Structure formats: C-alpha cells, structure tokens
Chains A and B, each alone.
Chain A
Amino acid sequence: MNLEATINGEELTLEIEPGEVLLDVLRRNGFKSVKEGCKTGDCGACMVLVDGSAMTSCTLFAAQVQGANIKTVEGLDDELAGSLRENFLDKGAVQCGFCIPGVLVSAYSLLSSNPDPTEEEIKAALDGNLCRCTGYVKQIEAIKETAEELGDS
C-alpha cells in the first residue's frame, strides 16, 4: 500500500507495509533527522510535525497520516526555525545532538502557537523530549531567547 502525504513541502507517494510506523517509513526514505530512541513514544527523538502538531512518529502508523502535512527538522526553514537553531548553538544547548531534531520540533510547535511562553509552558512543551546530555537548562534558555528575539522583531 501507499502513503500519500506532503513531507517537508513535497507531495510524496511512499510505499508502506501494513502495520509500519511513520518513523520507519521516514527513515527508510532518507529523513534521517527522525531518530529512533525507544520506539515506545517515551523519548521524543522521533518527533515530527503532523499538520502542525508535534507527535512521536514511532507511535503513529504510517497509514494513519494519509494526506497529512508532515514536517521534519530538515524541512523547517523559516525565521523561527533559523532563530531556534542559532540560539541552540549560541547557548550551548546541543551536546550529542541526537535528541535535538525532536526537541527543535517541539520548540517550533510551541513557539508557533505560543510566541511568548512562560518557563513553565516551555517545560511542559518539552516534557516529552528526553535529553541525557544537557540537563535541559540551556535548551530552555535557548527557547526563551528565541521567543524574545522574535517578539522584538
């Protein structure tokens, strides 16, 4: 069977197996930013935007997202994404980087709907993204900084 979806702005038709999760389909088709950390929806490394909402692609059947608009980190290319990336690097919020695509997807989703979040809201938005390297401190700072930067512009 086929999955027809818009992925990072491109309308694609991808072959899928019944029961296959979106994570596997995306990685097989070259979207390697989407990481497998647990396959149980607990770590958030495989988060993608599905019609604007951050979701773990390991807990979605590929067949569930027919016709959806899917974005991975590779496809986030606007000012918000650029500012997030730059602030993550400036603040030292990236260590090994394995969780980062998922964290950026969550942060992007948050700031898209809530451009001026409180620290509590940032923590709540990121609570599904496990990071073992950074202790989250600088990730939270980077998101705050991005919100301030874009709020000022």
Chain B
Amino acid sequence: MVENSEDNSGFDVVNRSLQRVDGKALVNGKPVFAGDFDYPDGLVAGLLESPKAHAEITDIDTSEAEKVEGVVSVIHHGNVPRVPHTTAGQGYPEPSPYDAYVFDKKVRFVGDRVAAVAGETREAVEKGLEKINVEYRELEPILDPEESAGSETTIHDEEDSTGIYDPERNIAANVDIEVGDPEAALGSSDVVVSEKIRTQFAQHAPIEPHVSTAYMDENDRLVVRTSTQVPFHVRRILSQILDIPIGRIRVVKPRVGGAFGVKQELLLEDLVSVFALRTGRPVTMQYSREEEFISSRNRHPMEVEVKLGATNEGKLEAITMEALSNTGAYGAHSLTVLSNVGSKTLPLYNEAPDVHFLGNAVYTNLPVPGAYRGYGAPQGYFSLERAMDTLAEAVGKDPIEIRKLNHIREGETSPIFEKLGEGKEGTVQYINSCELDRCMDIGAEAIDWDNRGGKEPKDENRAKGFGLAVNMQGSGIPLVDLAGARLKLNEDGSFNLYVGATDIGTGSDTVLSQMAAENLGVELDDIIVYSSDTDFTPFDSGAYASSTTYVSGNAVRKASDKIKEKIIDAFAERYEEDPEEVSLENGQIIGRDTKKELAEFALALTSGEMEANQQQIEASASEVPEESPPPFAAHFVELEVDKRTGEIELQKYVSAVDCGTAINPNLAEGQMEGAIVNGIGYALTEEMEFTGDGRMTNPSFFDYKIPNTEDIPDIEVILVESSEPTGPMGAKSVGEIGINGAIPAISNAVRDAVGIQLKNPPFTPEKVWEKLKD
C-alpha cells in the first residue's frame, strides 16, 4: 500500500510496480546462479575446518591426502603465502583490521580454515580431507566477550596483523565520542531510565550458500565467477592476496541467491583462485549449509546499555549508549558495525543535546560476525527503543507521543552525523525529508493503536499486547561510496545500461533501469541492464549500506542526463535545431521543426546518412554521495502471550516506512516484508548455539529455525512516501531499515501484555515462561 504525500504523478516509469527485469529467467529456472555453470575439465574443492576453538597447528601432513585418487591439489599455511588482509569487502582503505590470512598456523574458532583440497569429484575431495593429519597444540579459548579484554590469552598475537585497536587486550575496535556533557546532564535530569540488552549470534541464511568458481581464461587471466555483493572489492583483495595486478583479474557476479551482508565478504574466492592458478583448471567451491552457518559470517552479538535523561514532560536531555560487541575470531566489520550501533540510532532523537557513545569490539574464539542487514542498528535500536518505552511509562506518555516529542525533523541535524561516521568521523548532514510522524499516525491507525486497551485475547490464559518501535537507517556511506554507471545508445533506440551496482535479489537492476528509462523518455524494455563484471561495468562499491537505489541511482541519473544531452546535441546539429528546444519523450526525439522516432535517429547515427558525423553515443558518470539521507520507519506489533506456555503468538505486524519515492513500490514493499520476517526470526527463534568448547550445535535449517510460511503474522507494509531532494527521482533507501523493528517492538508488546522485561532474544517460550514464573 502506498500513501503518497508528494505528487509523484509526473512519473511514467518510476514509482510503478513493474515486473523485475530478471524475473522471466528466474521463474523459468534458467541457469543464472554461480553454481549453475558447468566447466569442462572442472575441479571441485572442499575445506578442512578446525575442530578446535583455539590452537596452534604444530604439524600438518598432507602426503596421504595427495595420494588419494582424484585429489589434485592440497593447500594450507605451509604452501600458501601469508598476506595479512581483511575478508571484509569494504571501500579501500578498509576500516577493518588486517588480521586474516588465507591460512594461518593458528586456528581461532571451531570452523576456522586449516586446509583445502581440490579434486576431480566431491568424493575424492572428501576422502582427501579425511586423510590430512593435523596436530594441534591447544590454547585456552575465550568464549565470553566480557572476559576477553581482561584475559591473559591473546587471540591475535601474530606480529604481522595491523589495524587492531589493542591486540594484547583482544580489543579489535573502539569508538568513543561525546557531545556536550552527558554525565552532568543525566545527573540533573528529572527522570533517568536505563536499559541493558544482550543479543545473540544469528546467521543470514541466504538460501543459496556461498559458491565461487575460478579459472584461467585464454589469455591466462584469472576469472572468478562468484556469488558476491562486492565484485570490485573482491578483485582488489584478490590482487592483494595473490600478488597479481588488478588488471589480470576479472570478477563476474551472476544472479545472487540472497546475501543480506554475508556475501560482502571474501570467503571462497581466494581459495578457488589459488587452486586455479596452481592447477590451471576451473575450480568450484560451495559451502555446505553447515559450513555456511559455522564458517561464513553472522551477526555481532552485543551487550548494549542505554541511559536516557529527560524532563518530567519527556523531553530528552541526554543519551548515553555503551556497547560491547563480540567480533568472534576476526575483526571483519568490527569497527564499522560498532560505529553504526550509535551512528544509525542516536541522531534519531536529536532533541537530546548531550550524548555519549562508547563501544568496544572484542575478539573471542567463536565464529566470525560480519556485515548483516541493519549493520549494528538492530542491536542499538533494541536498547534505545526499549528505553523510550520505559521513559514513556515513567513520565506517563503514550509511546507515540514520547517519540514525537524527541525525534529529528526536516531541516534539523544532529551533531552525531558529524562526529560518528563509519569507523571514522562522519559528515554534517541536515534532514531533507522525514515523514516519521505520518508513519506513526498511519501505522497506528492500521493497527488500531488508540483502541488497544479494549482488545480481548482469544481466551483467559492469554494476554494481549501492543508494541511500537521507530527507527531510521541511512542511504549509503557519504564520501566513501562510489558508484559508476554507463549508458550506450543502440541502433534501435534501446540502451545498454552497465552498472557495477550489484543486484543480489533486491531488484536493483530493475530499479536502476526504471530510473534510466524515466529520464530518457523510453520504456523499461528499452533498457538492457547488465551488472556486474569488473571487465565491463564501471566501478561500484557494491550492494551494502542501503546504498544502491540512492548512490548507484544517482550515478544512473547523471549518466542518463549526459547521454540525453549528447543525443540532443547530435540531433540539433544534424537538423539545425536549437538544443534547448529538443526533448526526448515517449521514444521520440522532438525539436521545433523536426520530430523523429528515437530508433530512426539512432540508426541514422551509425549509418552512411551521417557520413563523417557517424558516432557511437555513450556516456558514463560517477557518484560520490555527500550525505546519507535516512529512511524512517514505524513498526507496530500486536501479539498474545500464552501465560501457561510462554509462547508468543505474533498476530499483526504493521510497518509504515518513508523511503522517499518508491521507485518500484512492489519491490520496496518486498524489501520491507523480507526484512521484517528476518527480524521476526531474529526476535523469536534464531540463535546459533554453542557447546562449552565453542562448537556450534545447531548448524542446519532443522535446528536453526528461520521463519517459514506458518510463522508469519498478518503483515502490512505502508509506503509513506516523501521526496528526497538529493535522491534520484526523490528516492532514499529501503533495504535494511525493515529489520530494526521486530525485536524492540515485540519486547515492548510483551511488556504491555504481561509486564515482563524481555532483554535477551530470541524470546523463546522457555525464556518467557521463566520470566512469568518469577
């Protein structure tokens, strides 16, 4: 459902729910994913993972493995160069520490890399892996993040890692920013409330696991076809690790079967590349589901404590937030996720003049967190949005009212934007568009918020509750992200659109094509989009940080402006028209005296008719965003708690979101719906569980429960459109914000229902029942 606050009726192609451009291939099951390609003479590869949480490899003997029939190559720390790097696919120079190696002689979690085998068949590889003999000297593992910084054990004691904040104390990253004097402000506030929450290890669980193939092309260049969000970062990191020039590497991103952040990481590409370079043969590697859980990436578990100081009327005077992030065995995304816990949450309540954010990300001997949709914001919002409800209760205000009193508005700013960016200082930013009040009002109406007190549960054993959480996110990373787009006019008036932007299932190919078509006055079918191939498409940072619609979209807007100008200039010259009077509309090029079908003129441009004036018209553009306009959302839930069993039945979930112009409303709603359901799983069922020695006990879809059709409530997404002046056609972003609401809104609703305080998701019946008992 779309609630237009702006007059978007002037659009022809954008702001319409057109079918996705890659859709036909997908519903027909065409072979479009990285694992769907067959390679003659291809090998497969597999990984030997550490059975120890923390150990030194004292000996590795691969001789028996190499004798296995069908085994072609075995690699490990003894025969692969040691290059410190980060697996995080971030803009260079990366804000993550260089603490990872293709292989190391130390293993730091159960599931860490020990060796890899390439062979003719999966069976040969499996047999080869079994025959590798490894001797370990066990080291004391650190499994509790609270003990990490004070421990005598050092997880990263190697000398060549760089960028670790305090290796001896196992602190990967630290953030400490202060505005004003929050301690004094808290001391003098009428009301002070605090909330401390703890979140769990959770996994992205894309249905397509990581899969990569590498081969040498006919000119002996390395080609990697991989399921990634960041082809250009993968190419650069491969160049760094393999010590071969970027120009000798080509990274191809086919369709990607879901990512959510876990594919913003170099996880298999280095291994298949090493094998391809050594064997000269194509090598394919795919994580099993178990490996996807244990050895890929997950979400940083955190403890977050927030304190709010306010007047008796509920006006915020100070906010302090302190976060302890568990970054597992490696520091990929440790600093930036930590920064975002504060930077994506604190500016929302800019009414508070005094603010402190302190965060530490510590190493443990557990699987490695990374980028995951929301990127720190879900953890921050859980504490903040619980505290806002606690404050509302303390000052006797409605949860909506307390938020309306304090949230940021159009024309306003927050000092946090400048103080805290992604792992460094941020940039000054004023809010140009914010429909959060309307999101709350419209959402409240949809869930019948005002009448919530009178609603009866299904029976007397159950209690009904309503909860709210609001939030913002960003749209890309200002002055860090870069997106390129290129357009080429074909002889029939169609255009090739080349973008480095990485469609990972989000529909960005469609959305970017809609923008180009809109600007060029043609139909969506006239745009032939291609993403992404480092040989053919311009650079793009990749699909992360809610950047594509806004950042890559602006690149497409600029490139389409440029090519339009070139077409118009060529037309004006040929037909002696004034360029100012020529326009492109409905597939036609129209001057004062001459009107042509664009197809006709496009053909003429490459025909003898134009004689020496023939030309290939194309244009490219780059976009570096100067700001990151936040989308805003209000999430409402209605639920019932069974007081006998502790079970939470989620009945209705309403989310009203201001994402600017929805370029494709169906796809924007889909982003929200998917994120909401992912958030519901995070709130109610999903948790990676571990034994006392660090082994994950539930690495399967049978034991790690992600929501299926039976688990979803009645979900209503309402697009409350605004028009962002800096965005392409008024757009902001919508990819991540939907995941921030479920945990706090459900926790608040359970408090409303039965008065218990749920602070440790997932909110399983056991936990609820235990609390009810007390």
Contact = CB atoms under 8 A, between A and B. Distances in A.
Interface of A: 32-40, 42-43, 45, 72-74, 84-85, 88-101, 104, 122-124, 126-140
B27 A45 contact: no
B706 A137 contact: no
B31 A32 contact: yes
A89 B27 contact: yes
Given A38-B289, A43-B207, A136 B670 contact: no
Contact of A92 (B20, B25, B709): B20
A96 B206 contact: yes
A44 B620 CA distance: 42
Contact of B676 (A36, A97, A135): A135
Interface residues on B, range: 35 or more
Nearest to B35: A36
A122 to B, nearest CB: 7
Contact of B677 (A85, A90, A136): A136
Given A96-B505, A124-B710, A135 B677 contact: yes
Interface string B9-38: 000000001011011111111111101100
B764 interface: no
A134 B208 contact: no
A38 B257 CA distance: 13
B260 A85 contact: no
Central interface residue in A32, A123, A135, by most chain B CB within 10 Å: A135
A104 B27 contact: yes
A37 B205 CA distance: 10
A89 B29 contact: no
A91 B35 CA distance: 27
A92 B29 contact: no
B24 to A, nearest CB: 7
Contacts of B30: 32-33
9 contacts: A35-B207, A40-B289, A40-B701, A42-B700, A92-B507, A94-B23, A100-B26, A129-B708, A130-B701
B700 A38 contact: yes
A138 B701 CA distance: 23
Given A89-B27, A135-B715, A97 B666 contact: no
A136 B712 contact: yes
A132 B206 contact: yes
Interface string B247-278: 00000000111111000000000000000000
B288 A39 contact: yes
Contact of B28 (A36, A85, A92, A127): A85
B309 interface: no
Interface in B99-147: none
A96 B255 contact: yes
B289 A37 contact: yes
Contacts of B761: none
A32 B289 contact: no
Contacts of A130: 205, 207, 701, 706, 708
Given A33-B29, A40-B702, A96-B504, A123 B710 contact: yes
Given A35-B207, A91-B666, A92-B20, A97 B674 contact: no
Interface string B599-642: 00000000000000000000000000000000000000000000
Given A37-B209, A130-B207, A133-B258, A32 B36 contact: yes
B669 interface: yes
A34 to B, nearest CB: 8
B667 interface: yes
Contacts of B706: 130, 132
B126 to A, nearest CB: 13
A87 B459 CA distance: 38
Contacts of B710: 123-124, 127
Contacts of B35: 36
Contact of A94 (B27, B700, B702): B27
Nearest 8 Cβ contacts at the A-B interface:
A33-B29, A96-B505, A98-B257, A97-B26, A92-B666, A135-B677, A135-B673, A42-B701
- Most chain B CB atoms below 10 A, which of A39, A96, A140: A96
Contacts of B674: 95, 132-135
Most chain A beta carbons < 10 A, residue from B206, B260, B674: B674
A137 B673 contact: yes
B773 to A, nearest CB: 32
Nearest to A84: B27
B298 to A, nearest CB: 14
B27 A98 contact: no
Contacts of B506: 95
Interface string B681-713: 000000000000000000011100011111010
Contacts of A35: 33, 207-208, 257
A96 to B, nearest CB: 3
A97 B22 contact: yes
Contacts of B32: 97
A98 to B, nearest CB: 3
Contact of A135 (B23, B205, B256, B712): B712
Contacts of A124: 709-710
B361 to A, nearest CB: 26
Contact of B29 (A93, A101, A137): A101
B204 interface: yes
A100 B670 CA distance: 15
A37 B702 CA distance: 13
A37 B715 contact: no
Interface string B650-677: 0000000000000010110110011111
B513 interface: no
Given A94-B23, A100-B26, A136 B207 contact: no
Given A43-B701, A97-B255, A136-B677, A37 B288 contact: no
B678 interface: yes
A130 B208 CA distance: 11
A74 B207 contact: no
Contacts of A92: 17, 20, 507, 664, 666-667, 669-670
Contacts of B677: 135-136
Contacts of B17: 92
Nearest to B672: A135
Contact of B208 (A37, A85, A93): A37
Given A89-B24, A97-B32, 17 more contacts: A34-B29, A36-B35, A43-B701, A94-B26, A95-B506, A97-B25, A97-B26, A98-B505, A100-B26, A127-B708, A127-B710, A129-B708, A135-B670, A135-B707, A135-B715, A136-B708, A138-B666
